[in-house]
């Protein structure tokens, strides 16, 4: 049981530190991590056979122990092959040596399986003596030497690429190379101490190093890249929002622009068609005497006249979107409280305009029309009625102005 304890501990630690690798599926895992996960499964399989070896040896179940030893060496050989494939895939270099390394790993794996098959007939790999003690054959040393060679080749290949890399990539490649050298040391010692669980210990140490300095480093780098991407996206959204705000805001008055009005008009038409709106009104506004102001006082004074008009409209119709749809033309779409109080608001607006007319202040003609679901099937029909009433109001105000001058 003491021998098996190392394998049990190794499996527990391996499962804990690599839980995210085992859980990942589909597009959530990269090709290199799929190879790494295959390697981890082979290591777990190896640990299971190693645990069983200790338990069977304690009970002197020789036939079962022989079968387990065969599987034990096969699992070890498979883990070496899968480590080689993971390393080549992780480095992702289309080199001749990478191809040679992969095929060499497959050849060594096939050789070890063949040696285990031959061992059933001729004990060239291992055998158990009459007393039930495990004995290693000469091929066993050859096989372990080939595993050492495979780990050494992959490590040197990784370290050679790491030497040319930079930053975190260099660090991760050096770490993988170090893991391979750790396995070289573990197997080399096991050559001389075959009954010690040194390969298990090597897998445990390498797994911890790899997880801490490669997988966690990749995860941290991915999180940093994701945070940078989100920050960049947020900046782009803000910039887009500012650009959109500029495009949808009239630069002179600060009310909504003609472009915003075109979209609002389309939106109202859609709501009418979908029967999503039954109560709204349109107010149309037009400045009186702007051309005279421009001709007499200049366009700067005319701009101030337009700004004063927009402030007056916004102060009265506080809960409605106000649009500047022309040089001296404004309009508002009344819904909610402004629609409910539309008559009072228009009366207050007209009173203010008549006061302005007497005081020589900005004069704005206004017309209001309500949406009639039984009559209006488009927004423009409501706008047209409001526009006609605005012109009626304009004629009235001009007559009033003429009377005051007389």
The pLDDT tens digits of the residues spanning 212-254 come to: 777 776 777 677 777 888 888 887 777 666 666 677 889 899 8
The answer to whether residue 253 sits within a structural domain is: no
Residue 49 within any structural domain of the chain:
yes
pLDDT tens, residue by residue, 85-100: 989 888 888 888 889 9
Least trusted range by pLDDT, from 81-90, 198-207, 387-396 = 198-207
pLDDT of res. 214: 75
Q: Name the residue among 381, 393, 396 with its Cα closest to residue 282.
A: 381
**DSSP track, 71-139:** HHHHHHHHHHHHHHHHHHHHHT---HHHHHHHHHHHHHHHHHHHHHHHHTTS-SSEEE-TT--EEE-HH
pLDDT at 311 > cutoff 60: yes
Residues 177 and 92 in one domain: yes
Taking all residues of the chain, what is their mean pLDDT, rounded to a whole number? 87
For residues 106-125, give the mean pLDDT.
Answer: 93
**Position 302 confidence tier, pLDDT thresholds 50, 70, 90:** confident
Query: Does 238 map to a domain?
Result: no
**What pLDDT score does 406 carry?**
44
Say yes or no: 215 and 262 in one domain: no
Predicted pLDDT at 8: 87
Answer whether residue 26 shows pLDDT above 70.
Answer: no
Confidence of residue 348 (pLDDT cuts 50, 70, 90): very high
Pair (161, 281) in one structural domain: no
Cα–Cα distance, 331 to 322 (Å, whole number) = 6
The pLDDT, as a whole number, for residue 243 is 62
Q: Is the pLDDT of residue 109 over 50?
A: yes
Give the domain-ending residue among 196, 231, 266: 231
Residue 204 pLDDT exceeds 90: no
Q: Both 181 and 295 in a single domain?
A: no
Provide the number of structural domains found in the chain: 2
pLDDT above 70 covers a percentage of the chain that reads 94
Indicate the SS3 state at residue 328.
Answer: coil
pLDDT tops 60 at residue 74: yes
User: What is the mean pLDDT of the segment spanning 368-394?
Assistant: 94
* Confidence band for 270, pLDDT divided at 50, 70 and 90: very high
Q: Distance between CA 399 and CA 406 in Å, rounded? A: 11
Residues 47 and 157 reside in one and the same domain: yes
Residue 158 lies inside a defined structural domain of this protein: yes
Structure tokens at 52: 């069983």
Q: Residues 140, 284: one domain?
A: no
Same domain, 226 and 281: no
Both 181 and 304 in a single domain?
Answer: no
pTM: 0.58
Do 156 and 281 fall within a single domain?
A: no
Domain extent, residue 61, equals 2-231
């Amino acid at each position: 049981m003491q021998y098996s304890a190392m394998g049990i501990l190794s499996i527990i630690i391996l499962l804990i530190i690599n839980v995210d690798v085992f859980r990942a599926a589909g597009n959530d895992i990269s090709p290199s991590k799929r190879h790494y996960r295959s390697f981890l499964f082979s290591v777990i399989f190896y640990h299971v056979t190693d645990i069983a070896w200790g338990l069977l040896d304690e009970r002197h179940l020789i036939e079962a122990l022989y079968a387990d030893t065969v599987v034990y060496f096969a699992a070890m050989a498979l883990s070496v092959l899968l480590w080689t494939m993971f390393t080549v895939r992780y480095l992702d270099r289309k080199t001749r040596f990478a191809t040679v390394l992969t095929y060499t790993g497959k050849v060594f794996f096939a050789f070890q399986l063949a040696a285990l098959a031959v061992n059933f007939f001729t004990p060239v790999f291992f055998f158990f003596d009459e007393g039930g003690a495990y004995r290693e054959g000469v091929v066993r040393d050859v096989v372990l030497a080939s595993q050492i060679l495979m780990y050494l080749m992959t490590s040197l290949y990784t370290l050679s690429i790491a030497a040319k890399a930079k930053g975190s990539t260099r660090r991760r490649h050096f770490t993988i190379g170090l893991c391979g050298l750790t396995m070289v040391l573990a197997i080399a010692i096991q050559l001389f101490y075959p009954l010690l669980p040194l390969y298990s210990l090597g897998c445990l140490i390498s797994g911890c190093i790899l997880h801490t300095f490669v997988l966690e480093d990749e995860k941290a780098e991915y999180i940093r890249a994701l945070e940078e991407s989100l920050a960049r996206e947020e900046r782009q959204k803000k910039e887009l929002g500012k650009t959109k705000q500029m495009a949808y805001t009239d630069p002179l008055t600060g009310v909504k622009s003609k472009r915003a009005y075109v979209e609002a008009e389309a939106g109202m038409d859609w709501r009418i068609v979908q029967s999503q709106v039954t109560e709204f009104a349109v107010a149309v506004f037009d400045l009186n005497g702007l051309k005279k102001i421009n001709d007499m006082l200049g366009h700067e004074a005319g701009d101030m006249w337009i700004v004063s008009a927009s402030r007056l409209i916004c102060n009265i119709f506080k809960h409605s979107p106000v649009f500047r749809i022309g040089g001296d033309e404004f309009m508002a779409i009344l819904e909610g409280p402004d629609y409910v109080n539309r008559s009072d608001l228009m009366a207050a607006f007209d009173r203010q305009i008549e006061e302005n007319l007497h005081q020589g202040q900005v004069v704005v003609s206004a017309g209001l029309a309500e949406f009639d679901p039984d009559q209006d099937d488009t927004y423009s029909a409501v706008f047209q009625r409001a526009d006609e009433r605005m012109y009626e109001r304009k004629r009235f105000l001009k007559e009033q102005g003429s009377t005051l001058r007389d």
